[in-house]
Amino acid sequence: MNGKKTVLYFSLAASLALISVGIFAPNQLEMFSNSALSFIYNHLGWFILGSVFTFFIFCMYLGLSKFGHIRLGDDDDRPEYKTATWIGMLFSASIGISLVFWGVAEPVSYYIDPPYGQGSSEQSAKLAMQFVYLHWGVSAWACYAVVGVSLAFFQFRKKLPSSLSSVFYPLLGDKVKGSFGKFIDVVVILSIVIGIATSLGFGTLQVNSGMNYLWGLPVSFSTQAIIILIISLIYVGSTVSGLQGAMKHLSNLNMLLAFALLAFVLFLGPTQTIFQIFFQGISDYAQNFVGMSFRTEPYGDGSWIASWTLFYFGWWIAWAPLVGSFVARISKGRTIKEFMMGAIFIPVLGSFFWFAVMGGSAIALIQNAGQTALATAVSADVTSALFKFFDYFPMSVFLSVLAMVLVLIFFITSANSAVFVLGMISENGNPNPSHFTKVVWGIVIAIIAAVLIMTGGLAGLQSILVATAIPLAILLLFICYSTYLGLKDELASPRTEKSKEIQETKRVEEPERKESKGLQDELVLSISKKKKAPKKSVVNVPK
């Protein structure tokens, strides 16, 4: 298992096996995945919650401790992307499409069916935003940041291949180049393929639902296959153009369209109420963060926590290899402190505001304006929730079309980053994988999504992805420990000590150089005056 293309061949074989199961035994696949998911929720939910909280504490420790000044690269490296572009790429490569999908549906679902208390009430409205912020807050981004900072450190600082197996070097040494390291890479590739295929599947269903709602196009497999084909051609073509080209421009376009959609809803909707919901939600989230993060309901059935909180936390863990790998790729040159502050808190605030505008407006329409038909529509079909929400606004058709375009571009950028990461890992950490490898993975992802939509196996595959959270959580905990050892060794290395000494010397000597320069200037001026003085006396002597 030591060939150059071993990872590619084994991961392709596993993906094809998954396609075969989805075609020939979709019901069995769903039954197995649901059973595994039920076992995890009933017996290991506490482990998922504890792991996610540990990831957040670890990220904060790295960012605020002595490790924060370490640069993800050489000491003279600087960020490849401007901060605004970097933030846009963070959104585009991770949760952008999910924000559009769940922006209205999730808060309204919690409002109708809260974790505790009476539904469709003032209390459930507050709880809805509070738990939405938990599920999309710092806990999610901490999972991504653990992988991102670890991979960026070992790739750009230690010059190891850009594969997740590289982060285990302090624990395993050169063994990461052998069979065990390749096994880790194959598992990571499979989780990425499953994640991006389910994302493409659900995104396709939402676009098809929107087209049916607006223009009466049929909700059918043929329509969905055409949507997948068009999207696949675009994201495969864009990924071939490279990160500096397509991803940068698509990410910037994403942000512009997202801001435009937010602005329309913000100013055409209950603006004052939206800001109140935003700040109230942050306050409730901050006050109850620890309690919600460890809420297991041991004296009740725990079905709500299992269906939502554990599902989301497992989902973020499962997506961590994909998003973390891409975040690492675009973060070269940033310090660990800058990375943690930017990759965790800025996207979180953006997500919070998105839910306040979309979900907060929807709840306000139901709770304050009595538009209970919207709640009924969301309960009936979450894929069309956003489009039915826009019916309560002027220019609803324009808003719906803008939302569909946003979904498509968000998915293109997500798939673009996924294909790029898959190419890197498949080629043993090559930071610039070949076009052939990227195209192959782009085709595989499209086929898996189409097959699962056709067989109705998307729900089963989604459950499998979350079921992988347990082994991946264990993997991430070892990544935390290995990264700590690597950073500790880095601080003790001669290069780091020399760099710190040079910076300290510059800081101490700078005032001395300025003072010395001032004395030199005075001396030069004095000598100049002395040189000029004799000339003047000679000229003034009378003949």
* Averaged pLDDT for residues 191-218: 83
Which CA distances in Å does 350 have to 136, 255, 317, 370?
A: 10, 11, 21, 28
- Give residue 537's identity as a one-letter amino acid code: S
Q: Are 93 and 326 in contact (CB under 8 A)?
A: yes
pLDDT at 409: 81
Give the confidence band of 533 by pLDDT, cuts at 50, 70, 90: very low
Helix (H, G, I), strand (E, B) or coil at 71: strand
Which CA distances in Å does 7 have to 166, 206, 308, 363?
A: 14, 34, 34, 48
* Averaged pLDDT for residues 473-494: 92
pLDDT at 286: 96
Number of neighbouring beta carbons within 10 Å of residue 299? 6
pLDDT at 405 over 80: yes
- pLDDT tens digits, residue range 37-89? 788 888 889 999 999 999 999 999 999 999 999 999 999 999 988 888 888 77
Q: Which of 96-105, 260-269, 463-472 has the highest mean pLDDT?
A: 260-269
Token reading at 311: 């599902």
- pLDDT tens digits, residue range 377-394? 888 888 888 999 999 998
Helix axis angle for 83-92 and 248-268, nearest 10°, is 80
- pLDDT tens digits, residue range 311-366? 899 889 988 988 898 889 889 999 999 999 988 998 899 899 999 999 999 999 99
Average pLDDT, the chain: 83
Domains of the chain: 6-499 (1.20.1740)
- CA 130/CA 316 separation, integer angstroms: 18
pLDDT at 530 over 50: no
pLDDT at 479: 95
pLDDT at 534 over 60: no
- pLDDT tens digits, residue range 134-175? 999 999 999 999 999 999 999 999 999 888 889 999 998 888
- CA 391/CA 386 separation, integer angstroms: 9
Q: Which residue has the higher pLDDT, 509 or 144?
A: 144
